[in-house]
């Protein structure tokens, strides 16, 4: 049973959340929002606006200085270390700096979340190869990550985040190193995962990936969420 499956609550909720890095760097201030289950939401804002900090709070890499954070209806401040560990296994994270195992192959990197949750080898092979094909990495399947371009590594990071079909996927600047047609492969992957029930938050500078769809945009400016602006239809 997953943490997410029991709850009919927002996937993510923040109420008046602030994050201060010691001694005095205010990364987020008074941030409140709610993300429904199975929504796709873009998180935008200039460099340094607080996007990565916000995603790190949701996946419990960082703790808030103030405020309430609920994920799948669970108040993160009340979870035991074990419950946090379980929750983190249910959140797929594609990090801005990838965090790949450089000496391992593409296949091995993408398989990691499935290995650590003891999925059967046959299921791992099928899922990893499906993601490799969707992201046009077939020729690189058995290459070591340290032989890949940045854009290829970025896609490996995304595939790894998606491997376990997480109920919540956080993608930090997922198209930062990609050309337009490769970005489309990534957007297709998001649409496919979302159809299967995954809630997705995408931090991005890349206007091209959010201007042509109707998904909600949360815009951060100097750690504050800017009031929602009506979007052109």
Ligand X SMILES: Nc1ncnc2c1ncn2[C@@H]1O[C@H](COP(=O)(O)OP(=O)(O)OP(=O)(O)O)[C@@H](O)[C@H]1O
Q: Do strands 216-221 and 224-225 pair parallel, antiparallel, or not at all (unpaired)?
A: antiparallel
Quick one: 49 or 131, whose CB is closer to ligand X?
A: 49
Contact 127, 114 (CB under 8 A): yes
Alpha carbons 54 and 43: distance in angstroms, whole number: 9
226 binds, among ligand X, Mg ion, none (CB under 5 to 8 A by kind): none
Measured N-to-C along each axis, helices 121-134 and 150-162 cross at an angle, to the nearest 10 degrees, of 140
Residue closer to Mg ion by CB (options 26, 83) is: 26
What burial class does residue 153 get, using C-beta atoms within 10 Å of its C-beta: 0-12 exposed, 13-18 middle, 19+ buried?
buried
d(CA 221, CA 38): 26
Of 3 and 204, the one with the shorter C-beta distance to ligand X is 204
Q: How far is the CB of 23 from ligand X (least distance, A)?
A: 9
* Token representation of residue 83: 């419950």
Return the residues of window 34-63 that contact Mg ion according to CB under 5 A.
51-52
Least distance from Mg ion to the Cβ atom of residue 59, Å: 14
Tell me whether residue 132 or residue 169 sits nearer to ligand X (CB atom): 169
Which string of x and - marks every residue 83-122 that binds Mg ion (by CB under 5 A)?
-------------x--------------------------
Provide the binding-site residues for ligand X, judged by CB under 6 A. 21, 25, 27, 45, 47-53, 96
Q: Are the CB atoms for 182 and 151 separated by under 8 Å?
A: yes
Residues lying near Mg ion in the complex (CB under 5 A): 51-52, 96
């Amino acid at each position: 049973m997953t943490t997410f499956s029991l709850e009919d609550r927002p996937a993510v909720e923040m109420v008046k959340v602030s994050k201060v890095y010691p001694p005095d760097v205010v990364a987020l201030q008074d941030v409140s929002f709610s993300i429904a289950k199975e929504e796709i939401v873009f998180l935008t804002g200039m460099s340094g606006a607080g996007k990565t900090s916000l995603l790190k709070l949701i996946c419990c890499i960082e703790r808030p200085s103030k405020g309430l954070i609920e994920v799948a209806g669970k108040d993160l401040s009340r979870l035991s270390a074990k419950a946090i560990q379980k929750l983190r296994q249910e959140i797929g994270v594609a990090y801005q700096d990838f965090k790949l195992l450089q000496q391992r192959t593409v296949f091995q990197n993408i398989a990691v979340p499935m290995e650590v949750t003891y999925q059967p080898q046959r299921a791992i092979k099928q899922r990893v190869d499906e993601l490799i094909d969707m992201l046009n990495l077939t020729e690189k399947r058995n290459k070591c990550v340290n032989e890949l371009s940045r854009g290829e590594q970025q896609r490996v990071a995304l595939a790894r985040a998606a491997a376990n079909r997480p109920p919540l996927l956080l993608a930090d600047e997922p198209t930062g190193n990609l050309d337009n047609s490769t970005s489309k492969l990534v957007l297709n992957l998001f649409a496919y995962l979302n159809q299967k029930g995954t809630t997705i938050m995408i931090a991005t500078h890349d206007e091209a990936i959010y201007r042509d769809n109707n998904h909600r945009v949360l815009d951060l400016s100097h750690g504050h969420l800017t009031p929602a602006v009506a979007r052109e239809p």
